[in-house]
Copies of this chain bind each other. A is one copy, B any other.
């Protein structure tokens, strides 16, 4: 996960002042709507023009930013040249292990996806070692593609549908994994040369959405067989004490409800997960049509099942809004495609259950990144580490 932002009890001294200003200038460049000049960066950041120029030169030398056109100092009153994030520079590798597919992508410093590959593969039939082996093959292809683009891989982040603590995947129920460590370097092909981390897929998807949409505070809910969640508040991921926050799939809907694979009863997954919706709709196990195809055909049992799922989702999200005071909900995974059928029930529950809904209504929107959110978010997390602390990245390259 990205390093924490500086805290108020960190002493500010000369060296950290330069590090701070490197990050500040790089942030102004990457966040700008159009390429800012050095003078504009100075005006926006409050730094002096001399400081900005020194810092920009250092960022150019380190390959993190570039100048749009050659500097010409002869013309008077000309606009300054624009500074942009470097198109050839570091790239973050995002990887996703999910129940029925593996995926790898690469994202550059601008947040653009430069490489993307998805492979259908059911992990439930394989051991974790076999999964890592298959993932390493995809990652090697991504590394070759990244090199061909003139980018330098800076690190990798693996998204998994489970709870992670440090390098340990504590539990990934829908994969059937418990206490699975990050792969050893020998299992990883070309990845072994890179700093590698693992994190929860919905948390990373929320990070991806945050950067793709510019939304600063939202609950991200990913509906698949399991239901994952991620929380973004004031532009930052909210991880809780251990990074496990957001497990909305295991909010209780009915204390006496059906057993859940997590060991509890009446969890949201048992009402609004894909298998629960299919069961409620009476769709046979061999049915491969997407839920939205059945819904679009107007099948009454499917529409009723989606309304019931939306209602359960609305109950859980209302509790979450009451607890967290975050009033934008982003629906990802298959929920993004089902939003039209889920929304009426969602809005009904919000109006009834969110105590602030009269003056602060809950907004619901579909995911911008769709099924790619977790892997793009994972790659973006790597890039974010560089944006947050460019001094460390430059020192490692020096």
Contact = CB atoms under 8 A, between A and B. Distances in A.
Interface of A: 5-9, 11-13, 17, 20-21, 23-24, 27, 45-47, 163, 165, 170-171, 217, 229, 231, 233-234, 239-248, 250-255, 262-265, 311-312, 315-316, 318-320, 322-327, 352-353, 355-356, 359-360, 388
Contact of A251 (B9, B244, B248, B323): B323
13 contacts: A6-B8, A8-B24, A11-B24, A234-B241, A241-B326, A243-B325, A245-B325, A248-B322, A251-B323, A252-B353, A263-B352, A265-B352, A324-B324
Given A239-B325, A247-B323, A255-B311, 14 more contacts: A5-B8, A6-B6, A8-B20, A170-B356, A171-B355, A217-B241, A233-B240, A233-B241, A242-B356, A245-B325, A247-B355, A248-B322, A316-B319, A323-B324
A240 B325 contact: yes
A170 B325 CA distance: 14
Nearest to A7: B5
A327 B241 contact: yes
Nearest to A388: B8
Contact of A46 (B11, B46, B255, B265): B11
A356 B173 CA distance: 12
Contact of A252 (B246, B264, B318): B318
Contact of A12 (B20, B241, B326, B356): B20
Contacts of A247: 322-323, 325, 355
A325 B355 contact: no
Contacts of A316: 319
A323 B325 contact: no
A16 B339 CA distance: 48
Contacts of A6: 6, 8
Nearest to A219: B323
A243 B324 CA distance: 9
Contacts of A255: 253-254, 311-312, 315
A356 B244 contact: yes
Contacts of A243: 325
A216 to B, nearest CB: 9
B251 A319 contact: yes
A8 B239 CA distance: 18
A254 B248 CA distance: 16
B8 A244 contact: no
Contacts of A23: 8
Contacts of A234: 241
A72 B42 CA distance: 48
Nearest to A325: B240
Contacts of A242: 325, 356, 360
A269 to B, nearest CB: 11
A353 B322 contact: no
